[in-house]
A and B are shown apart, each in its own frame.
Chain A
Amino acid sequence: MEIIEENQDNVKIFKLHGRLDSNTSPDFEKKVFDAIENGSKSMIVDFGELDYISSAGLRVILKATKDLKRVDGEFILCAMKDYVKEVFEISGFDSFLPIDNSLDEAINRF
């Protein structure tokens, strides 16, 4: 999996490419928590190029959401493909996480 990190104003954007599974999630986890430790409070994860996610990826997302909530931060997800969206819906994560259709929509929230 490839992770591209961008900063736009005070918003940290992670663009995920490929597969977020048991093998690749630790790398994503490290990047997200390094950013939180370094003071990032507003984050967007762009799933536009993400083909696959398993519960290992969901675990990182949930942990990050809880941590950001604690510091009054915001975590926005966007541009999910059908399969990825289905996984989020079955997990019930769509009830507490904003999921936007596009990256532009997500950026406009800030």
Chain B
Amino acid sequence: MDTLSFKLKSDMSELDTLLGHLNTFSAQIGLTRKCFCQINLALEELFTNIVSYGQDNQTHPVKVDITYDEGVITIRIEDRGIAFDPIKAKKPDTKCSLKDRQIGGLGIHLIKNLMDEINYQRKNNKNILTIKKRIEDLNCC
């Protein structure tokens, strides 16, 4: 089992730190470019959600754990910001005309399509998001 854990400040400037950690993890297990991008997207969308909507007056660190075990990548993101369940966000209408197309709401829609599972829990005043991505073969996704 491969695990990588790190903490980020709740600030957009930490996106590069996040990318650095993901690069390390990716090199450790040998992710394909495409799979790396899909996981990067899930992490970026959830992290920017926390920074944009999840903060009260104080800033709270965001704790990230990434695990690869028996063909499954699990990402757990925990923060002590205000309760915020991004999964409940309204699904964007992806079939409507350009005129009616709204800007926004795409992040969670993309995660739901690119990952196999996403769960939210509010526990002990913490938001805990867990995502799973099954990778049968590291070279196939």
Q: Would B44 and A91 count as touching, CB distance under 8 A?
A: no
* B→A interface (CB under 8 Å): 12, 15-16, 33-34, 37-38, 40-41, 44-45, 48, 92, 94-95, 97-99, 101, 103-104, 106-107, 109-110, 113-114
Determine the main DSSP class of B at the interface with A.
Answer: helix
In the bound complex, what is the Cα–Cα distance between A86 and B79 (angstroms)? 30
Knowing A55-B106, A63-B103, A92-B94 are in contact, say whether A82-B34 is a contact too (CB < 8 A): yes
Q: Would A90 and B37 count as touching, CB distance under 8 A?
A: no
Determine the main DSSP class of A at the interface with B.
Answer: helix
Knowing A23-B16, A96-B101 are in contact, say whether A87-B48 is a contact too (CB < 8 A): no
* A→B interface (CB under 8 Å): 21-23, 51-52, 54-56, 58-59, 62-63, 65-66, 69, 82-83, 86-87, 90-92, 95-96
Residue on B with the closest CB to A19?
B19
Which chain A residues lie closer than 8 Å to B106 at the CB level?
Answer: 55, 58-59, 91
Which chain A residues lie closer than 8 Å to B104 at the CB level?
Answer: 59
Q: Would B37 and A55 count as touching, CB distance under 8 A?
A: no
Which chain A residues lie closer than 8 Å to B45 at the CB level?
Answer: 54-55
In the bound complex, what is the Cα–Cα distance between A54 and B108 (angstroms)? 11
Which chain A residues lie closer than 8 Å to B16 at the CB level?
Answer: 23
Q: Would B44 and A21 count as touching, CB distance under 8 A?
A: yes
* Closest CB in chain B relative to A27 CB, distance in Å: 14
